Structures are given as structure tokens and as C-alpha cells.
Amino acid sequence: MALPEREAHTLWEQVQAEFGERYLKIGEFLRRWFERVRPCLHTDEKLSAVRKSWLGAYFSHEYSLEAAALEKIVGSEKCIELIAAGFVKHWEARLEAMETQAPYGGKAMIVCMSRRICVELYEEIRKLKPEWHSDNDKQGVMKVVMTGAADDPAEWQCHIQSKDRRPRQPVP
């Protein structure tokens, strides 16, 4: 419910555009789910049809609908900005604390909900810390590891590593 109403509507329009043809009565379906759980929601707040649909999506247990709705929220521009800023702040504080204990720094891994979010989060972190990035696979301190296909968007292609680009691990 913390999502601003305007953003909830924008995200809902995106879900409708992506899934509306496959699920013709998606809004109606999700609002029926909302009505089932309404008694459990201890709020007097007047909710828009879009908010009811989002809440219905959460409680419907329809994985594809729920995942689509959640991916749109988690992958929103604002969320990605907050996650990137939080990660950079945490990582820099962690490195500072580790200077005396582990002079070689450390490693971190971020697991994302989708490949789209992964690429957008990388780019947001890159805006904050451009010195962490390098187009060269052997340089820079951050990389994306993800699968891909030839028809993925052009801006994703630099993150997709073929077998030839993957570093070879020495055999013990």
C-alpha cells in the first residue's frame, strides 16, 4: 500500500499490456480474489480498483500473474534506484570495516528476480560507481552472470557470456 497510486496505475497498465490478451478478464479475476481476503485486511482505507487488483494478484497464488505483478513492482525504476544505492552504501561500509581483517576486500553476489532487473540494477550501480565497471571481461569489479538468447534486447548482449567468454577454471 506504500506504492503511490499513480505508480500503481502505471504498473497495472504495463501488466495489462503484457498479459491482457492472454487473460481477458484479469482485473475481474483478481478483484474476486481481493474480495475473498478483504475481511482479513484490517484497514479502513478506500482502495482503488487497481489496488484491489494488486492485492488480489498477491493472494491469488496464480504464479504467472503474481510473478508478473511482483516483477513490475520490484523492477520499478524507484525500487532499482533504492536497491542500488543501498547496496553501494552497504558494500562501501563493509569494505571499510574489513580493511584490517581481509585486506583483499571480499565478494558479493546479488540475485535478481529477472534478467531485466539484473541488467537495470547493474546499470544503476554503474551510474553510482562508474569505476567498478569495465567492458573488458577481465577488468572491473562487477559483472553480470546470466543466460541469454540472440533475440534479447541489444543492451543485454554485453552481459551474456558465451562459453568462449567465460573464464576457465583450473582443473585441480
Note the helical H segments in the chain: 5-19, 26-37, 49-60, 63-74, 77-98, 115-128, 154-157
Render pLDDT for 51-73 as a digit per residue (tens, 0 to 9).
888 777 777 766 565 566 677 77
Contact between 126 and 133 under an 8 Å Cβ cutoff? The reply is: yes
C-alpha cell of residue 18? 503484457
The pLDDT assigned to 145 comes to 84
Task: DSSP letter for 68, please.
Answer: H
Contact between 53 and 30 under an 8 Å Cβ cutoff? The reply is: yes
Residues of the chain with pLDDT under 50: none
Q: Is 146 exposed, middle or buried (0-12, 13-18, 19+ CB in 10 A)?
A: middle
